[in-house]
Structure 1
Amino acid sequence: MSERRSLYPALEPYASGRLDVGDGQSIYWETSGNPSGKPVVVLHGGPGGGTHPSLRQYFDPEAYRIVLLDQRGCGQSTPHVADGADLSVNTTDKLLGDIETLREHLRIDRWLVFGGSWGSTLALAYAETFPTRVTELVLRGIFLLRRSEIDWYYNGGAGNIFPDRWDEFLAPIPDEERGGDLVAAYHRLLHSDDESIAAGAAVAWSAWEASTSYLLPDPEKVDENSEIRFALAFARIENHYFVNGGFLDENQLLRDAPRISGIAGTIVQGRYDVVCPATSAWALHKAWPSSTLNIVDDAGHSALEPGIIHHLLEATDRYRLT
């Protein structure tokens, strides 16, 4: 195999701010790279994960105007879920509206949409809703938010591969509730009036994802996800979306794939992705024939796996002149 690419050098934003999107919500945004370059919007994972400076580094800074944002309730957006933000106004349709509001605020006509994990879900929903606003899609770790995917990861399937970590995920749940829907059980714990119960459940939920996202373990990422403020937002927002089916019809993203038939795109998928198994990427590729699928044989879920980085950079470099 030829030498793999590495991330572009770290860079700082040249502009940033908070945008009032209604419902008492203000979202953080930033732009970096070339102010006159090709626009790209980066949709982070979770939902509730927040953006990260490394996400700027998947793009040639001379070619791209790189837009990052924190979705409602997390990161630097306000109010923060750890501070009691109202989750009833945090839905997929609301997030799609926020993206459009930001696009108009930044006076961008069309942009490349880049997202991984939940970011791939949101990117697909956005492109299927606003196809004329999307130049290309670059997606990683495909999550179609079907019930089978949620059950695989949160109701026992992935636990067969990580039994030690699965026991830690189960630990906050009373024995009598372990035979039912664990996403529902966690919903009760995460919204307990006892702050210590809610915090303990949030850390267990967030650590489960961090400990299963890499082909090789990354203890530092587990520690990072276990920080209380991050974990409360991450777990509560994710769980809120999952108990509500992502506010999507079952199989909606595949059903509506013909709406993006004219959009070029690249899918990058780890072969050993336990969080979002490759079957979803395969299903999407078949439903979206204009896409290119790259399955990375030595990668898990994380965007920081070496093979994932390589193929994402190859895709963004390919699209920078189109």
Structure 2
Amino acid sequence: MLANPWWLLALLVVAALVGLYVYIQRKRNARAIRFANLEILRSVTPKRTDRYRHVPFAILTVALILLTVALAGPQADRKVPRNKATVMLVIDVSRSMNATDVAPTRIKAAQAAAKKFAAELTKGVNLGLISFAGTPTTLVSPTPDHTATVKAVDKLQLDDKTATGEGIFAALEQIRTLNSLLGGDEAAPPAHIVLLSDGKETVPDNPDDPRGAFTAARKAKERKVPISTISFGTRTGVVELEGERIPVPVDDASLKKISQLAAPGGRFFTASSLEELNAVYKSLQEQIGYETTRGDNSHPWVLAGTALALLAAAGALLLNQRLP
């Protein structure tokens, strides 16, 4: 993509210079053959110099082409940190998060990864934290001070039940509140919900109920908020409650559907270890914390063209004792 493609018309001038150079060389050779003694000319003309005498002009031609392309304004996509965005980190703290299938426990690993994510997230992003079990708790409202989230993650407390929908609704409310302070939804920066959970919603029984997870995801779509979900744990996870071992397998299907029902831009991830969870957060950080913009990319063309022009000048002085 070029910003000013009409500058490429200057390549016609370069082509004309090449044509003129060839014409002059042919005229010069014809004149030399016409008036010179060929035997004497061959004996006094250095063969090596004659063989390479056109190289400087060839290099200069390439340099002019590169500089012409630079004038045309080549464009390139690049990732730049977002100046503004809102991210709500929503973490499941139901009792099943105490399972040890992820060392040392699901919740401990989730805390470690969440703190790393918060500490490394792009500085211009407003980050908030919500935990949920049977009810949601807003631990940090969206703020560019990410240390607040890092500190709050250590305060996560396990509780009964899993109300995934309530966690999403709470995140949407925090986003709505911030947007109203920033001039409304139209003027507000893009928002994203990152939901980490390890199991199926238990409150309400049906995720399509008015306060269910699927209903909350549809509301996120209405508000143009994508949801990236992380299914954390394994299918063999168990937790001990009152001396009884209870299976707590992850529920990939429902978490995947939540991301699909919300606004476009969310993704579904699975993680069964701290290393995998860190990799997921790293991917999300790249997706959420940066944006792709198209800008000027003429610098490499100018640099290469200038270097070749200097090389052509040096070669001409060395080989021909004059500039091309």
Whether the TM-score (by the shorter chain) exceeds 0.5 is no
User: Greater relative contact order (Cα 8 A, min sep 6): structure 1 or 2?
Assistant: 2
Shorter-chain TM-score bucket reads 0.3 to 0.5
**Greater helix share, 1 or 2?**
2
TM-score (norm 1): 0.36
TM-score (norm 2): 0.35
